[in-house]
Chain A
Amino acid sequence: AQKVTQAQTEISVVEKEDVTLDCVYETRDTTYYLFWYKQPPSGELVFLIRRNSFDEQNEISGRYSWNFQKSTSSFNFTITASQVVDSAVYFCALSETNFGNEKLTFGTGTRLTIIP
């Protein structure tokens, strides 16, 4: 069975600091997809990134970067020069593809608070 673990329940950093959110996953599939979603106080989940299991290249998008390592089953998310608007709950999610439904299995989330 697939599982996503986000061990960090809450993180607080001072504005402009860098912060890394950890995500560890379990799956028996060789083909799968990993996602990060942001849930701001308004509650609506916002898609951030999707990576497939065959692409281990790190990705950078502005202040956001993602480090995917199959050897450690991790897909960590780093925010550089954090801003108050980054305060939200962040979810890592996994989708296995062999059953054809692509349902998402989410972790429990990490609540990130950026202190001005």
Chain B
Amino acid sequence: DTGVSQDPRHKITKRGQNVTFRCDPISEHNRLYWYRQTLGQGPEFLTYFQNEAQLEKSRLLSDRFSAERPKGSFSTLEIQRTEQGDSAMYLCASTMGEVYEQFFGPGTRLTVL
């Protein structure tokens, strides 16, 4: 296992459609984070899991967004009824525990038409 992987790398969808992204963390990393990055900005925190438990959600995460991490392994991020404002790069990161560096995946670039 060489790093965090994300699938798909690119997604183009029409407004109103649902999309789902997947993140596979580095093996044995118990913490997993989702961030969103828009053009010209730094990544913004969305949500975080420790094992299978979702422990915090940002106010940026509206009720159209849902994330899961069944069995504490891979995670999915679903966006329902996509809007043009959801267009962004969605980044996943994992880490082993407290205050270790977070390792980032390549991201999923979402374009909502």
User: Which chain A residues have a beta carbon within 8 Å of chain B's beta carbons?
Assistant: 4, 33, 35, 37, 42-47, 50, 52, 91, 93, 95, 97, 99-109
Contact = CB atoms under 8 A, between A and B. Distances in A.
B74 interface: no
Contacts of B43: 45, 91, 104, 106
Contact of B105 (A42, A44, A93): A44
Given A108-B40, A108-B41, A43 B102 contact: no
7 contacts: A45-B91, A91-B42, A102-B31, A102-B98, A103-B48, A106-B42, A109-B41
Contacts of A50: 99-101
Contact of A44 (B35, B100, B101, B106): B106
Nearest to B58: A103
Contact of B45 (A45, A97, A105, A109): A105
A95 B99 contact: yes
A46 B26 CA distance: 15
B59 to A, nearest CB: 12
A97 B99 contact: yes
Contacts of B106: 42-44
Contacts, number: 60
Contacts of A4: 42
B42 A97 contact: no
A108 B38 CA distance: 10
A107 B98 contact: no
Contacts of A91: 42-43
A33 B105 CA distance: 21
A106 B99 contact: no
A44 B108 CA distance: 11
B40 A103 contact: no
A25 B107 CA distance: 26
A107 B42 contact: yes
Contacts of A109: 40-42
B28 interface: no
A52 B48 CA distance: 21
Contact of B56 (A33, A93, A103, A104): A103
Interface in B89-113: 89, 91, 93, 95, 98-107
